[in-house]
A and B are shown apart, each in its own frame.
Chain A
Amino acid sequence: MVTLVKVTVHYGHPLTEITGKAREDVVVNKGSTVLFLLKTLATKYGDAFKDHVFSDYAKNQVKEGTIISLNAKYISNETENIKVEDNDFIGIFRAVGGG
């Protein structure tokens, strides 16, 4: 039997424009990696998403300057190895500061 987990994905600008939302809940198989989740989203949202997140999609390389976080911990270079758990929070954004 396949067990599913729910992950809440948050986007920063301009991914909010590309996806049309700031946040969404995504359901994936338990044991899925963060990379799998990112590629699932890339398939869903197309080239604009892919180009913003990956420098080399085939080689699974996240673009420099794009931050991937899991429960607020930065994991941009570890997405292949880290599996998501139920109720995790994923963030995809570019660093920005001030306020």
Chain B
Amino acid sequence: MKLKKVAALGMAALMAASLGACGGSGEGDGGAKADSKSLTVWIEKVFSDEANTAMEERIKSFAEENDVNVNYEFISATDFVTKLNAAIEAGSNIPDITTGAVTKVVNYYPSNPYMDVTDLVDEINAERPYMQSIYEGSKIEGKNYFVPMTSSSTMMFIRKDKLEEAGITEVPQTWDEVFEVAEKISDPDNGFYGLGMGCGPTDEDAENMFRMIMWNQGGYVFDKDGNITLDNDAAKEWLEKYKELYDKEVIPPAASTWDSGGNNTSYLMGESGIVFNAPTLYNTMATDEANKELLENTEVVNLPAGSDNNTTMGFAAGLSIMEGCKNVDLAKDLIRYCMDDEWYNEYLEITAPVYAPVFQDSVGNGIWAEGINAQVVSYAENALGYYGYPVESIQGRAIAAKNMFTFPMSKMLNQVVTGAEDADGAIAGAISAIEEVQGTVE
């Protein structure tokens, strides 16, 4: 009998707790405003709590000033796509505004759940011109499906102290110089390797770096018309160079098992002399007193140039309006509100150096004039590349973007260093993988 009473009380308490919890706190819903327009906004969280808070405050203030409901949520980057896909596939609870980027848009091809916002981008561009690379790079077949807001980058992190020890006074400016310097500063007997560039089969950083180095040397995965051109000299030379460096222990042996976190971990461990990473690595060093010495010994610069060009991969992101949005004008107003000069400049200062501004007037101005901030702006200016570059059609870009998630370049590097394939065999394998994706998209 006692047991029954306890069980009954327990269930009652649980039900009461569930009802309480299900009610929620109303957080993020901006309060109930009957008979007024509303928007649902899903923002991909950025690395900084301060930046997320600033964006949250901005959205709140828009809701208050315009007396509208804005339901907003900040979603972690790792979860964002899964959530959005579920909502799109189910056809319900699709947000009105989300974080958008070129890769996100083309991945849905042949569908396109994003609204054309070219007019809004042109309007903003007329008032405050975008950098040419951002303006052109964020278009897909001449249309914009997101309003560019930030540009992230890949920087070269170099151990100045190791360069000095080796008698090198200049930071390498070209890829050939980088490999030469990496070889000189390597000391594998003492666990120090010149070049911390991974080749794990799912290493996203290796995937992007391979493409950029190949572009810079004049080689491309596709041509403008979408034909596969991966079987080129630049790809083969880079694969062979990488293997040579790996065999000479200029690259850490464990690099063949790295994911995208491998190179930054290796740098923080003091194992690698040169790595290529987002400026989040800089932030990690800058915010931890224990890494003070490493930071002092680190030079952060834009990526080197190749023999052909210095095009880099564009990572512009911004805000998109989703198809099905019922209050398009209100959504556009919110985006305009977030692009307001004064607030935008303050927001970008919080996110520096991980995000660079997208406007031309930032180049060489204020905090963007020197140090790592100037380097990320310089990167953004050259960031014309994208998955599939220089293919122009949306279909070609979709094939390239979908193919990227199978990490074909990282796999090629991995096959070559582990001896599973030679350069030609690895290239042939990658081409056949791309053709498979082509088949599914077409």
| Mutual binders A and B | no
Q: A-side interface residues toward B, CB under 8 Å?
A: none
